Amino acid sequence: MCAIYRQVHMIAKAVQWIGRRARQEDAYQVKFFPDGVLSVVCDGMGGHHDGALASSMAAEAYVRSFEKHGDMPMAQRMYRALEVANETIRRSFERRSVYGGTTLLAVFAGAGVLRWVSVGDTALYLWRFGRLLRLNQDHSYRDLYREYIGSGMTAQDALRKGHVLRSAVTGESLDLVDAPLTPYPLIPGDRIILATDGTENVIDPSILGPEGRAILNDREGNLPVNIIEACKALNDPYADNATVVAIDV
């Protein structure tokens, strides 16, 4: 099922797929405001208890805090919402004596610029003039493994082996946070894509092929649906949960 959200100058679409997993541990929120659109995507940590709860709780807490602190400067407002999401997870999991965690990527597009806060490896991409750029940091070991590409390790190997996170929202201290103070300028025609790691075999820039480029170039089709359909077509028996939110400017 595809969710569609519209504003005068932007349209956002979102799709999820459970993959070959027993349950969906991704969560997302999309909300339009008078000055732009907020999107939050979280990928629960499947190796821990209650990853699904952590992701949904973090996404919901983030949006509530963002709505509440509308008087703050935008960069401060977005970082504060991350702290609230992290604290919400801490309190909930302490009460239940369990441990869980999630990645978190929050994006606000409006007034011709893009801002984000991210922890973990959920990707923020920009498709512009036929080029796919990753804008946020990857807080996993994939980037470290990519350094070995060319010395025997392929890009696909780096993706497969580098899933362990170096930072996540778990209620503990946030060791790595990507929160640029300077907003990223947008231009008409930009496509902003938030995607969990279940999509990386289709749209990761390091392995982007003709099929992926065709999907990203298709302005008539539904971008998140087409990305998910391409993921399904790989017939990967270990396919992870996949969530895609796309914002067209």
How many residues comprise the chain?
Answer: 249
* Least reliable range by pLDDT among 27-41, 84-98, 100-114, 235-249: 84-98
pLDDT of residue 162: 41
CATH no. for residue 52? 3.60.40.10
Give 146's pLDDT tier (boundaries 50, 70, 90). Answer: low
pLDDT of residue 4: 83
pLDDT of residue 165: 66
pLDDT of residue 155: 52
Q: Is residue 79 part of a domain?
A: yes
Q: Is residue 214 part of a domain?
A: yes
Q: Which of 245, 246, 198, 249 is nearest to 59 (CA)?
A: 245
Q: Is residue 233 part of a domain?
A: yes
Give 142's pLDDT tier (boundaries 50, 70, 90). Answer: low
Give 158's pLDDT tier (boundaries 50, 70, 90). Answer: very low
pLDDT of residue 196: 96
Tally of domains within the chain: 1
> What digits encode the pLDDT tens for the residues 17-33?
999 999 999 999 999 99
Q: Which domain holds residue 194?
A: 2-135+167-248
Between 198 and 50, name the one with better pLDDT.
Answer: 198
pLDDT of residue 246: 98
Q: Is residue 152 part of a domain?
A: no
> What digits encode the pLDDT tens for the residues 51-97?
899 999 999 999 999 999 999 999 999 999 999 999 999 998 888 77
Q: Is residue 156 part of a domain?
A: no
Tell me how far apart the alpha carbons of residues 190 and 193 are, in angstroms, rounded to a whole number: 10
Average pLDDT, the chain: 89
Q: Is residue 83 part of a domain?
A: yes
Q: Is residue 142 part of a domain?
A: no
Q: Residue 79, SS3?
A: helix
Tell me how far apart the alpha carbons of residues 223 and 95 are, in angstroms, rounded to a whole number: 40
User: What phi, psi does 214 have (nearest 5°)?
Assistant: -65, -40
pTM: 0.89
Instruction: Please state, for a pLDDT cut of 90, what percent of the chain lies above it.
Output: 71
**Residues contacting 187, CB < 8 A, separation 6+:** 128, 249
Q: Is residue 144 part of a domain?
A: no
